[in-house]
Structure 1
């Protein structure tokens, strides 16, 4: 997260679903004795700041980040670091900032504290139809009805209805294909489609769909990983609240930094490494 001239934090190129209210809270609560929000996140600064708890009794309610010890904060920061690492490919890198950590901590405690329950671990949702398709034209004529569809089997299969190009991943054959479909996702013959002029070239269609897929996949996967990171941090905090922390534990580095599994982001380059392309 960066800091604007007015002193407020603004979204950086990290996988955070920016919520303005949380950003405002993070700005207002930013610890004065930490380096500025644009500074690279160095965990040693968390200890030096003396902003966090030096000890805490067992079964205390943790309502905000300041109730955590520095040794606990760095365990929460491990989730943030893993989240950012999953977002970027090996060719790119971004080091989270102090501001990123404060935003993340505020998101963890937003409308939540350690005595409140947490749900089951988030599950990655399936991709939607829109995330796997682009609108490439209209149907030239009515298509044969399909049993089970509305409108006597003709729903989305009438002349001038939308036609789409769908990207299909077959995990058994490891082949990725580009298929024309109607609005129901049912495969149709390309000859039945009046294709837009900008998509007359199959290469243009495929490249556009690949870019759309990558953008959509980035949002789908990283929103999920954000939810996992928040869930993981809250689960740790509930454990911290139960066990408490001694002065010695608060001042020392934790024995280990545990993080939850996060889904890797599948770039187009990675897809081309794994799958064989079928242009037929």
Structure 2
């Protein structure tokens, strides 16, 4: 909670330390009413906060004040297992995380045959919200499948199909193109069930030949090359932090171990 007394740190200094803007520009953001602390707009330059407990946002986008937290995007190649210590000695994520001092873990999993966007972090609260299907964070996949996918098949995927572990439906499904007996299909869903994209497409008669996750919530893979890793930029980080904070205490109750295990492979 903000205070004009001597405790805490001045809000403009906290914003500057977090890389939001210079001290002077941060002061202007506060005076313009663009900064919130714990959901309340703060306009007094003398306001002080506790960075360890207070939640700050600028223009509605959450700001991370904890410099120990790290957020990375990986374009996971085919053949890499989504584990930090594969019990069978197969290629795993350690080749990407060992260069960092922090204990990073993956947000959910992609099976070895699936490539694409995978988030690595040491923020357990955020990871739990992004990965767990109960929070409804959508993931978008591009699948190359055998056969010509029709409008009727797409409608069936969104209307719902019955699998051995219960009914499932895609949030969105669209055909991107067909060529040489194959189709490119874009599927968006929030389910975290094991190998769900492959099983859904197999169930409608179009087995997957190649599968890539292109989007995870507000994050897009973009031009990041296979096997490449990068830090999230400020806008990306703000977007996913805002999603995590929207779920309040339910998200903050999670820990890193739970987050890593919360989403089976796609």
Q: Same fold (TM over 0.5)?
A: no
Greater fraction of residues in strand: 2
Q: TM-score, normalised by structure 1?
A: 0.30
TM superposition score normalised by structure 2 = 0.31
Higher percent of residues as helix? 1
User: Which structure has the larger Rg?
Assistant: 1
Q: Which has the higher contact order (CA 8 A, sep 6+)?
A: 1
